[in-house]
Amino acid sequence: MIANDEDGSRRYRALFLSDVHLGTKACQADLLLDFLRVHDADTIYLVGDIVDFWRIRRAAHWPQSHNDVLQKLLRKVRKGSRIVYLPGNHDEALRDYCGAKFGGIEIVDSIIHTTADGKRALVVHGDQFDVVVHYAKWLAYLGDSAYILALWANTHLNFARRKAGLSYWSLSAFLKHKVKQAVNFISAFESALATEARNQGADIVICGHIHHVAKRQMGDVLYVNTGDWVESGTAIGEREDGTLEIIDWMKDHEVNRLRAKGNLPVDLAA
């Protein structure tokens, strides 16, 4: 069950979101602001790559909406939410400050979250288990540039789809599902995270990093990935009974937009 506050917002026991990439043109800051206005939680975990220092060093893109996201999070702290920031590879400089607090936001490398039903969840960004990032950073930078190109193609493709009254479609998500090397990488990444959870005596692992939202049982470990706020617009919410659910805010937002225009496709109507 999800509690609803008096102002109509949806309240969870915990929220997990990652890969916002503030400081980049691809960041869906307005969509995230819309999400943060509607959703609240006792504890909010920012599971890495919230600010993209890689891209900022090359060409910063910081409109007012990016400031607004940070201010919204700080207001939630002032109103009583606990916020825990777990740096990823794009904001790895913040790992030097693990154990510190900024504006009431805690910074840690990883953490064990206990769900309402007593399960132990390892929360970590996940780049520590990406062999490319860990052992060949130059290749990770190259992959990042290829991802930017895919996002550029996405933008133009979906502009045409919107004009035709069609829903959003992700090129990079399609490639992740269809290209053998990408599928193999994701499988290896998930297995590595599940193994680490077992090593730490956890029942669940919650991560980000690969921009691929998921919730699946892997033997005795539940693997959960938060997705991202570049393409997916997804987060993970813990209900008051401890149940973890995927929140697909981009789909919800798209459904509402198309419904208002009376042009809701069959694939989104369900």
CA-to-CA dists, residue 226 to 159, 168, 202, 210, 248, angstroms: 26, 19, 18, 9, 10
Classify strands 105-107 and 82-85 as parallel, antiparallel or unpaired.
parallel
Domain count along the chain: 1
What's the pLDDT score for residue 168? Answer: 67
Query: Are the C-beta atoms of 216 and 236 separated by less than 8 Å?
Result: no
Q: Which residues of the chain have pLDDT under 50?
A: 132-142, 179-180, 266
What's the pLDDT score for residue 180? Answer: 46
Residue 104 is part of a domain; what is its CATH number?
3.60.21.10
- This prediction's pTM: 0.79
Q: In the structure encoding, which two tokens stand for residue 27, read together?
A: 């960041």
Find, among 200, 202, 173, 185, the residue nearest to 130 by Cα. 185
**Which domain range does residue 165 map to?**
3-269
Find, among 177, 195, 161, 183, the residue nearest to 267 by Cα. 161
